[in-house]
């Protein structure tokens, strides 16, 4: 009698265990597709967030002095290329960026013969070493309205081969398409429009160790005023 009851109880426990296992497998089978469905968007979102923003433009490679049309010496070219590497948003201003002023610019061409409005050499800090001044154009500005920056490159004396110091900004984002750059003794002259008489002068101040803006009426007392650019 006891043996029969034990066998019947063991059989019922075996059936219960099998039914429980089937129920558990059924639940797991139903849950796995839901997990896969829920995991797919999360994985896709992770890939999207990791991918670079397609709307963000790639950085522009640095422009080069080559092809500007200027008779750069090797040292000048190296100085300009290094400057452009540090300022990839700029390029060298060329003769093609010039717009004829209202007087046609004939007098300037007749005076200079070979005339580059945005590139000039001279000893601007009065140390006996040749320097040069060049204009650059923002690469994101339009062809019709280019924005210029004026930069002076100071020659380093006593070095062989010759070299230039890091370019120093005189002005940034100015209108110069109808004007030019020139050097008058130890002053850099920026003329926004050759048809006008307005000229901005910059001189080297040895006390401040920088180029400073000089008013026309300050030439007599030779008192420089610091540039605000």
- The string of pLDDT tens digits covering residues 183-222 is 998 899 999 999 888 999 999 999 999 999 997 654 444 4
97: which DSSP letter?
Answer: G
pLDDT at 102: 59
Pairwise pLDDT comparison (135 vs 102), residue with the higher score: 135
Whole-Å CA distances, 134 to 8, 70, 108, 157: 104, 10, 18, 20
Is 80 exceeded by the pLDDT of residue 107? no
Q: Please state the rounded mean pLDDT for residues 45-63.
A: 61
Adjacent-strand bridge partners of 168: 152
Q: What is the pLDDT of residue 87?
A: 97
Of 34 and 167, more confident: 167
Question: What is the residue whose two structure tokens read 């991918």?
Answer: 51
Mean pLDDT, rounded, for 172-189: 95
| pLDDT band with cut points at 50, 70 and 90 for residue 100 | confident
Residue with tokens 């070095």: 159
Task: Label residue 18 by pLDDT band (50, 70, 90).
Answer: low
pTM over 0.85: no
Q: Identify which has the larger pLDDT, 62 or 188.
A: 188
* Pairwise CA distance, residues 49 & 22, whole Å: 41
Where in the chain does DSSP place strands (E)?
A: 90-92, 119-122, 131-138, 148-153, 155-156, 163-164, 168-174, 180-184, 187-191, 200-205, 210-214
* Residue predicted with more confidence, 185 or 28: 185
Considering the chain, what percentage of its residues have pLDDT values greater than 70? 63
Dihedral angle over CA of 80, 81, 85, 87, nearest 10? 30
- Average confidence score pLDDT of the chain: 77
122-161 burial code (b ≥16 CB/10 A, e <16)? bbbbeeebbbbbbbbbbeeeeeeebbbbbbbbbbeeeeee
- pLDDT at 101 (0 to 100): 63
Mean pLDDT of 60-77: 91
């Amino acid at each position: 009698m006891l043996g029969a009851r034990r066998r019947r109880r063991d059989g019922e426990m075996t059936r219960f265990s099998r039914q429980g296992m089937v129920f558990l497998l059924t639940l797991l089978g139903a849950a796995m597709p839901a997990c896969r469905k829920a995991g797919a968007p999360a994985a896709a979102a992770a890939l999207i967030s990791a991918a670079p923003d397609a709307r963000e433009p790639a950085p522009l490679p640095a422009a080069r002095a080559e092809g500007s049309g200027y008779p750069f010496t090797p040292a000048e070219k190296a100085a300009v290329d290094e400057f452009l590497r540090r300022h990839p948003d700029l390029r060298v201003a060329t003769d093609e960026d010039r717009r004829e002023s209202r007087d046609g610019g004939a007098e300037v061409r007749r005076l200079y013969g070979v005339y580059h409005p945005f590139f000039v050499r001279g000893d601007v800090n009065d140390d006996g070493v040749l320097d040069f001044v060049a204009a650059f154009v923002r690469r994101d500005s339009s062809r019709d309205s280019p924005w210029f920056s004026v930069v002076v490159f100071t020659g380093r004396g006593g070095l062989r081969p010759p070299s230039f110091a890091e370019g120093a900004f005189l002005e940034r984002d100015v209108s110069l398409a109808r004007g030019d750059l020139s050097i008058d003794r130890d002053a850099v002259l920026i003329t926004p429009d050759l048809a006008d008489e307005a000229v901005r002068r910059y001189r080297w101040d040895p006390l401040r160790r920088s180029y400073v803006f000089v008013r026309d009426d300050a030439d007599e007392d030779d008192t420089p005023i610091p540039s605000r650019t």
